[in-house]
Amino acid sequence: MHSKLLDELNENGYIVIEDFLTAEEVDSLYQAGRALCLDAPQNNRKIFSTIKQEDAQGKELYFMESGDKVRYFFEKGAVGDEGQLLVDPMIALNKVGHALHVEHPAFNAITFSNRVREICWQLNYNKPAVCQTPCVEFLRRQANLMDLPMKVYYPANEKNPVVVLTWKGLNPELPSILLNSHMDVVPVFPENWTHPPFGADIDEEGRIFARGTQDMKSVGMQHLAAVRALKRSGAKFKRTIHISFVADEEMGGRYGMRPFVPTDDFRALNVGFAMDEGLASPDDHLPLFYAERAVWRVYFNISGTAGHGSLLLPNTAGEKLNYIVGKMMEFRRTQVQRLQNNPELVIGDVTTINLTKLGGGVQSNVVPPLLMVCFDCRLALDVDFEEFEANLHKWCADVGGGIEITYEQKQPKVPPTAIDDSNPFWLAFKKATDEMHISIKPQIFTGGTDSRYIRAVGIPALGFSPMNNTPVLLHDHDEFIQADIYLRGVQIFQKIISNVANV
């Protein structure tokens, strides 16, 4: 069905799926649509048209800020000069957007149903395109309000901008300070949220609910707020401060920081120290990340003897797969034991290995000629990368060969940022947190951030998100940050920025 749907879509530009909705669901949507026509607002009626000269509406402020609002658009000629309706309400509306399918129960139930999701997956719509333009325009307004010059770079393509605001220091020849955050967020499943996931609702407990409140729009806004407050106070610093907002971090920085770092544009920023995202902490201390494990996504493409399922053939792909999986899981157990035997270790201190994909097979009675297994590996700082890779190849040879190893991702070993007297930026950072009586806990980041690309070119970088006494909810439903924690974070960044920018 996957191929058939794609073929039909490519040929016709649309697909028809019979009996996709039940009669009851169709009637529910019809009644909901009828009610929308009859209950449309009586004032502020907007006209929708597809003619080219009206495309400019996409640049208006209302369009950029209406992703979580239901908007009504009327047909041209349906509304009089004084806003009165000139035609039957049932034919007056052109469309209803933008958040109708999120906010309206009848439309939400269908739009986010498992059936629709399955069709989207079959049509390869599992990686939706993200429009960054509204974010860039928002940042441009902030730059204008703060009287800061702003540049937009496109290191990969025009869909993935890198925005940099700059506050020039007293000694601009000194290496600069970079405050980095990313614009993109992971997808949401609105039906699992108690608040609109992009509504930034604040409940009676002062919790701000929205995707990105932890990862990591909150930190980007704290960077801006801290710099705004420092500028208003008349503060001056030795070093230039750059505030960057990059795209595509959640997908590995393929079109954001990774291609940006090798460019002349990045080198021109003359970065001497960078700060990026950290994690929330459920207790009073704040984690401080000075290194990351290297991500290897390893594919074993295993060939073997093929034949009928009634036979006991030698050297089959299944036997080889079983051996490779066993070896990888054996290594995994050693890392589990390390964690269990040493309570001072955390997950970032060990190597994690997890089987994430299996594939192959022709039909149920055929011994397959090829099987595939993929492992997500995060190599700890104490791993000898050459030795680890040599073991992978040895295991393949030991089981009889015929196994090709490929990598979806294979990051090099990147030295950690020094957190000792050799790093003056660390000393300035630590002095700021000590003076504010903040307990920080240096550790190795469990996942991957854009800091790895910055550290890879020898620039010290620390990951820090001032969100203590906050459950870790990045990528989770009902992601939130307490308003007082957010505001306290702005004060913390003011102190830290003041210190590191005067090193």
* More reliable by pLDDT, 94 or 243: 243
Q: 295-410: same fold as 139-189+215-292+417-472? A: no
pLDDT at 210 over 80: yes
**Which region among 51-60, 182-191, 399-408, 476-485 has the lowest average model confidence (pLDDT)?**
51-60
pLDDT at 275 over 90: yes
Percentage above 90 pLDDT, the chain? 70
Which run of H or E residues covers position 33? helix 23-38
Arithmetic mean of pLDDT over the chain = 90
Does domain 295-410 sit in CATH 3.30.70.360?
yes
| Torsion sign across C-alpha atoms 477, 482, 483, 487 | negative
pLDDT at 104 over 60: yes
- Tell me the one-letter amino acid at 469: N
* Residue 52 pLDDT level (bands cut at 50, 70, 90): very low
Residue 29, pLDDT score: 87
**Which region among 73-82, 216-225, 344-353 has the lowest average model confidence (pLDDT)?**
73-82
On the CB side of 88, how many CA atoms lie within 13 Å of its CA? 3
**Which region among 131-135, 250-254, 345-349, 490-494 has the lowest average model confidence (pLDDT)?**
131-135
pLDDT at 11 over 90: no
Which residue in this structure is represented by tokens 């009165």? 84
Is the pTM value of this prediction over 0.85? no
pLDDT at 167 over 60: yes
Residue spans of the domains in the chain: they are 2-122, 139-189+215-292+417-472, 295-410
What number is the average pLDDT over the span 174-195?
Answer: 94
pLDDT at 3 over 70: no
**Which region among 22-26, 235-239, 495-499 has the lowest average model confidence (pLDDT)?**
22-26
* Residue 56 pLDDT level (bands cut at 50, 70, 90): very low
Joined together, the tokens standing for residue 306 give 């093929």
Is residue 398 a known part of a binding site?
no
Q: How far apart are CA 417 and CA 440, in angstroms?
A: 16
Is residue 285 a known part of a binding site?
no
Superfamily covering domain 139-189+215-292+417-472 = Zn peptidases (3.40.630.10)
The CATH T-level fold of domain 2-122 is Jelly Rolls (2.60.120)
CB 276 within 8 A of CB 170: no
What's 206-253 look like in SS3? Answer: CEEECCCCCCCHHHHHHHHHHHHHHHHCCCCCCCCEEEEEECCHHHCC
Task: Supply the DSSP symbol for 438.
Answer: -
pLDDT at 55 over 50: no
Residues classed as catalytic: 184, 249
pLDDT at 171 over 70: yes
Is residue 24 a known part of a binding site?
no
Residue 19, pLDDT score: 86
The span from the first CA to the last CA of the chain, in angstroms, equals: 62
Residue 68, pLDDT score: 57
Residue 78, pLDDT score: 81
Is residue 420 a known part of a binding site?
no
* Residue 305 pLDDT level (bands cut at 50, 70, 90): very high
Is residue 475 a known part of a binding site?
yes
* Residue 79 pLDDT level (bands cut at 50, 70, 90): confident
